[in-house]
Amino acid sequence: MGETLGPLIERLPAFLGGHLQLSVAAILTALAVSLPLGIAAARNPKIAAPALTVASVMQTIPALALLALMVPLLGGTIGFAPAFIALTLYGVLPVLRNTIVGLQGVDRTVREAARGIGMSPVQSLVQVELPLAAPTIIAGVRTATVWVVGAATLATPVGATSLGNYIFSGLQTRSWDMVIFGCVCSAGLAILLDQLIRALHVSAEARKPLQAVLAGCAVVVIPAAAMSGAALYVSDERSGAFAAGSVDAGFGDDEVIVGAKAFTEQYIIAEVLEARLENAGAEVRRRDNLGSTVVFDALVSGEIDVYVDYTGTLWNNVLQRGAPVDRHLMYAEVSSHLLSQYGVLTLGRLGFENAYGIAVRRDFAEVNSLTSIADLARVEDLSIGADPEFFVRPEWERVRDGYQITGAEERSMDAAFMYGAVRDGAVDAITAYTTDGRIDAFDLVILEDPLGALPPYDAVLLLSPQAVQRPAIARALAPLIGAIDADLMRQANAVVDLERRSVGEGADVILQAVED
Amino acid sequence: MILQVDQLAKRFPGGVKAVADVSFTAGAGELVALVGESGCGKTTTLKCINRLHEPSAGRVLIEDEDIQGLDPVAQRRRIGWVMQGDGLFPHMSAAANIAVGPRLLGWEAGRIAARVDELLELVRLDPAIYRDRLPRQLSGGQRQRIGVARALAAGPHLVLMDEPFGALDPITRDGLRADFSELQARLKFAAVMVTHDMAEALLMADRIAVMEAGRILQYDTPSALLAAPAGETVARMLESPLREAERVGALKAGAAQNG
């Protein structure tokens, strides 16, 4: 554990800083919205009912979905903005509800006393009603804080930096110490902030100004310190970018932002792109763990400059086309569509295909004499494991209906777990990624697809409209085109997934093989 | 005259007539009691005077000024207000509760602190002991004393009280009534007290307005009321305190003979 903690802690300032910045901004904004609204609503049931209904509905939307929905709502913007808005919405309800309940719970005779003694409505609110409702309101603020800090870990797939970066990367590369580290940090942060607010309230109640001031300072100073730490970290990167720009390698003054989806192959490719760009003199920033649809929107809006996607995915998600066509035709159609509709340049195919393939254990295939997917129709009580995305894709529909395996049990699971699941017999078949190193290592076989139900998934290198204007980027990356075949990719994946070595070492396998 | 209520009427939205044709006056050092069953309009009358309700008709003059022309919030700060229960602010110390009125009037801190101690002495609570106590750390009688002190803090010429002694046990109530009457004699403020307890009205008031269904049945001094009750209702309301007094007197006489 000792040597593994080092690299984790190295990234802590950036991740923790991003996490704090995001959650504190969201909590403060939620307060600024819900306190006045709650005060108005406590006096006016016409406001209270709709406000509470809307806030409750927000709460029923799973945080991950709320975060992801913000990206298209903001026109493809990723990063801080969508995460901030979603988390703010998430934090409104507890404060709003407790403000209304707290104020309405103030004894009627006390309110009448305030009026009868000569307080104006504002004086009554500030001097009597709010102080009496404070314990309830503070409880709401504490709930909101814990929720928001926890949900902020889910901001990673929409491109906001948070402690979730540890968790998402760790889950995909099965680095459990990374996952645990992320969880412990975010839980610790939630507990810390919660206790600080409690301390602030307790000392304010007890009228111990010194303690209150200290706790207040802590609430402000700790986040501020973390943020300035993160700011330093970021400004270091920025000044580096400026220095690199002034050398003039043709990249201009802006850094090049490399995007990646959330699985091992994408991390490795992103690492490769980063290394190539840096060697050519560019300052590079990474946006890892982007959701599979979020990442393309981010490219179109210029939030990222370059990433690698797969033709079959783009065919379905972006072109929204149905039955797959021939591999080369699909590539041609996808690349011309992306350019004409979005100004996105398909620089080329990397050389490997990472398709979905139905994989089973070799002995299972032999016992049931399986060679093609069609043979699965004969297997009784068939269960198929796949990533959650697969079962809602049209190709699953085509596979299921085309090969008549409609009775199969569908088991959604994270892609990181499905290879182990089929090896251990927890499921009979999985929808493997054909470049995954575990297919060979676990002695799995890919069943044939005579109907062509599963589309081709050529890996393609995509440049944003802005990146197209910076030819140095294309120049640095062009040698990768056609240079990474399926074997090479599978080897690199195996380095990370099987040998449990770092993503950087996986990338080295490719970098060494690619000739300039 | 400190308070003149002249043909006051209050109708609530929906046309419910709560109070009609109510007139009475209270001079310096005088206490007028409004007596009647629940719902007779006595509390509504009281709230019309400090405009927790706006009167529908009639006039209320305070020190010869028609209250219609005054700002209600500013006007309430000049009037002492003692509530049913105690109406203290539970999050404020005894001193802070008493200081609310002077603070609203913008007195300076030193003057407020001195005034708070003076009032605590006035209601017979040792400032050193009680100044910093919260309402929940006080007995019912002590809370009501703080309530009275709060009403008197800004030195009002008029004090309005809604069932001020209603929730107290008899011994505490007796002591507080006597202390209040003594205070009033000393400070010479006018007071209007709402009560459903005829005995309390007879013992404390200079004049009593007996109310029923929003109207005054009889308005007179306690002795005139006892001598000539105007009608059956007033007579019945006077009966029970008198009968109680008689029985207690008879018992006491019997006890003296046996002893």
Q: What is the mean pLDDT of chain B?
A: 91
pLDDT over 80 (residue A185) = yes
Which superfamily does CATH assign the domain made up of A5-237 to?
MetI-like (1.10.3720.10)
Q: Which residues of B touch A119 (CB under 8 A)?
A: 73, 100, 104
Residues B184-202: tens digit of each pLDDT: 999 999 999 999 999 999 9
Residues A81-129: tens digit of each pLDDT: 889 999 999 899 899 999 999 999 898 889 999 999 999 999 999 999 9
Q: Which of A179-193, A247-261, A455-469, B245-259 has the lowest mean pLDDT?
A: A247-261
Which superfamily does CATH assign the domain made up of A356-446 to?
Osmoprotection protein (prox); domain 2 (3.40.190.120)
A117 touches chain B (CB under 8 A): yes
Instruction: Tell me which residue in B50, B85, B88 faces A116 most closely, judged by beta carbons.
Output: B50
Which residue, among B100, B152, B158, would best test binding to A if mutated, counting the most A CBs under 10 Å from its CB?
B100
Q: Which of A100-114, A254-268, A403-417 has the lowest mean pLDDT?
A: A403-417
CA dist., res. B74 & res. B59, Å (int): 18
Q: Which residues of A touch B89 (CB under 8 A)?
A: 110, 113-114, 128, 132
A108 touches chain B (CB under 8 A): no
A69 burial via Cβ count (<10 Å: 0-12, 13-18, 19+): middle
CA dist., res. A189 & res. B17, Å (int): 61
CB of A23 closer than 8 Å to CB of A87: yes
pLDDT at A342 (0 to 100):
93
Domain boundaries, chain A: 5-237, 256-350+467-515, 356-446
Residues B109-159: tens digit of each pLDDT: 999 999 999 999 988 899 999 999 999 999 988 999 999 999 999 999 999
A356-446 and A5-237 share a CATH fold: no
Question: Which residues are bridge partners to A462 per DSSP?
Answer: A307, A346
DSSP letter assigned to residue A448? B
Q: How large a percentage of chain A has pLDDT more than 70? A: 90
- Report how many Cβ contacts below 8 Å link chain A to chain B: 52
A128 touches chain B (CB under 8 A): yes
CB of B126 closer than 8 Å to CB of B146: no
Give per-residue burial for A189-217: e unless 16+ CB within 10 Å, then b: bbeebbebbebbbebbeeeeeeebeebbe
Give the global pTM: 0.71
Residues A342-377: tens digit of each pLDDT: 999 999 999 998 888 899 999 999 999 999 999 998
Mean pLDDT of A485-492: 90
Which residue, among B89, B92, B192, would best test binding to A if mutated, counting the most A CBs under 10 Å from its CB?
B89
Give A260's Cβ-side CA count (13 Å radius): 24
Nearest-by-CA chain B residue for A113: B87
**Which residues touch B175 (CB under 8 Å, ≥6 apart)?**
B141
pLDDT at A171 (0 to 100):
77
Q: Would you tell me how many other CB atoms lie within 10 Å of the CB of residue A75?
A: 9
Query: What are φ and ψ of residue A11, in 5° steps?
Result: -90, -5
Cβ A118–B101 below 8 Å, yes or no? Answer: yes
Q: How large a percentage of chain A has pLDDT more than 90? A: 40
Instruction: Tell me which residue in B79, B90, B104 faces A110 most closely, judged by beta carbons.
Output: B90
Model confidence band, residue A228 (pLDDT cutoffs 50, 70, 90): low
Q: What sign for the dihedral angle of Cα B98, B104, B105, B108? A: positive
A126 touches chain B (CB under 8 A): no
Q: Which of A147-156, A201-210, A417-426, B22-31 has the lowest mean pLDDT?
A: A201-210
Which superfamily does CATH assign the domain made up of A256-350+467-515 to?
Periplasmic binding protein-like II (3.40.190.10)
Mean pLDDT of A237-245: 39
Which residue, among B49, B54, B81, B88, would best test binding to A if mutated, counting the most A CBs under 10 Å from its CB?
B81
Q: Would you tell me how many other CB atoms lie within 10 Å of the CB of residue B86?
A: 26
Q: What is the mean pLDDT of chain A?
A: 85
CA dist., res. B123 & res. B115, Å (int): 12
Q: Which residues of B touch A110 (CB under 8 A)?
A: 87, 89-90
Residues B207-220: tens digit of each pLDDT: 999 999 999 999 99
B97 touches chain A (CB under 8 A): no
Residues A137-164: tens digit of each pLDDT: 999 999 999 999 999 999 888 878 899 9
Cβ B76–A115 below 8 Å, yes or no? Answer: yes
pLDDT at B210 (0 to 100):
95
Q: E strands within A169-264?
A: 256-261
Tokens encoding A476: 């640095």
Nearest-by-CA chain B residue for A123: B104
Mean pLDDT of B3-9: 94
pLDDT over 80 (residue A234) = no
pLDDT at A240 (0 to 100):
39
Model confidence band, residue A208 (pLDDT cutoffs 50, 70, 90): low
Residues B31-62: tens digit of each pLDDT: 999 999 888 999 999 999 999 999 999 999 99
Helix H or strand E encompassing A237: helix A209-247
Q: Hey, is B16 helix, strand or coil?
A: strand
CB of B35 closer than 8 Å to CB of B196: yes
Model confidence band, residue A223 (pLDDT cutoffs 50, 70, 90): low
Q: Which of A84, A63, A64 lies closest to A74, judged by CA? A: A84
